[in-house]
Amino acid sequence: MTQNLKATHRCVYKHKDVIEIMDFLLTSTHKLRFSTEFRNRLETLSDLPGLPETAQALILLRNDPDADIASLVSVIEQDPAIAMQLIAYARSAVFGYGDRIKTVNDSLSIVLGFHKGMHMALGLSAGRSLKMTDEGPLGREKFWSHSVLTAALMERLAQNLPSDSKVDPGLAYLAGLFHDIGFLLLGHLYPYEFSVLNELVAKYPDIETRELELLCLGVSHDMTGMWLMRAWNLPEELVVGVGEHYFPDFDGHHSTYSKLVNMANQMMKLDRSKSNALTELERASNFSELGLSEDMVNDTLDFVHRQESALEEMAQAMAA
């Protein structure tokens, strides 16, 4: 077992009044059988969903220094469902182009651009391979809403990092987009256990979801997401960003990605009306350690807030 996997099992239960929660939990026998089987599937990469062909082609294209919009259009047009979703998104009212957007090329060259189009198509392709319920706090709709906003925060934060940080804003975006993908995997492979967790999170919103996962299932979405990233042979930056994002103290290779995911999640909870909001954020995420100033953090929050309507439409397209 790697150090990375060991780290994902760390959990300190903060809530002592768990007796009431017990009514929602799986039986101890079911939990043991489930966690043992799931861990075995993860560690042996047995029966895990493969990365869809379109997503594989997009990864190859992303690594091609000569790739351009024309080559991206060629890949996307091979998948009509993704092509239609990108066109529909680019035609949304927030951009103001309406029915002037008629093709994938229009969507990319006029609205999205190469990199945003690449990332959105990759998220659509990868996410579509995993089926889960739409409803509940962990359902598909909430999942993509949270993931798209986190990705936007991640990309902007990465752009504000010092030049010597060697963080790729595109990979930072993908780390944000995929950081909770373990929930999709759980819902896809084990719908009953996922439904139990979904109900538990709905009833106890003040308890950290990861704590409820470990209590209820004995596994956590950061661990399962990390192994899915490995099964899909995605870059190690994504493996670390997904697998270590609950642990800002992790200081291994590519740790900046996991620290940024953790920070983006903290930013989602931020109440900017409080006078000490950024002080609390700094205490929680230690953003100055990354080379980020309060002005940079405020810039990121303002930038993403201005895009909120467009980001929500993107999330709806991904959840469709």
Closest C-alpha among 32, 72, 79 to residue 52: 79
pLDDT tens per residue across span 182-231: 999 999 999 999 999 999 999 899 899 999 999 888 899 999 999 999 98
Contact 76, 83 (CB under 8 A): yes
Structure tokens at 206: 């003040």
Q: Is the pLDDT of residue 145 over 80?
A: yes
Residue 22 confidence (pLDDT):
60
Angle at 224 between CA 115 and CA 183, to 5 degrees: 70
Domains and CATH numbers, the chain: 10-46+132-319 (1.10.3210.10), 50-129 (no CATH)
pLDDT tens per residue across span 35-45: 889 888 888 87
Residue 2 confidence (pLDDT):
41
| For residues 21-26, average pLDDT | 67
Residue 105 confidence (pLDDT):
97
Closest C-alpha among 163, 162, 158 to residue 115: 158
CA distance 42 to 6: 14
pLDDT greater at residue 7 or residue 35: 35
pLDDT tens per residue across span 83-95: 998 998 898 887 8
Residue 293 confidence (pLDDT):
93
Angle between helices 221-231 and 236-243 (to 10 degrees): 170
Residue 260 confidence (pLDDT):
97
Residue with tokens 């291994």: 252
pLDDT tens per residue across span 200-209: 999 899 899 9
CA distance 121 to 252: 30
pLDDT tens per residue across span 254-305: 999 999 999 999 999 998 889 899 999 999 898 999 999 999 999 999 989 9
5 falls in which pLDDT band (50, 70, 90)? Answer: very low
pLDDT tens per residue across span 59-69: 999 889 999 99
Q: How many angstroms from the chain centroid is the CA of residue 107?
A: 24
Contact 281, 257 (CB under 8 A): no
Residue 17 confidence (pLDDT):
53
Contact 236, 253 (CB under 8 A): yes
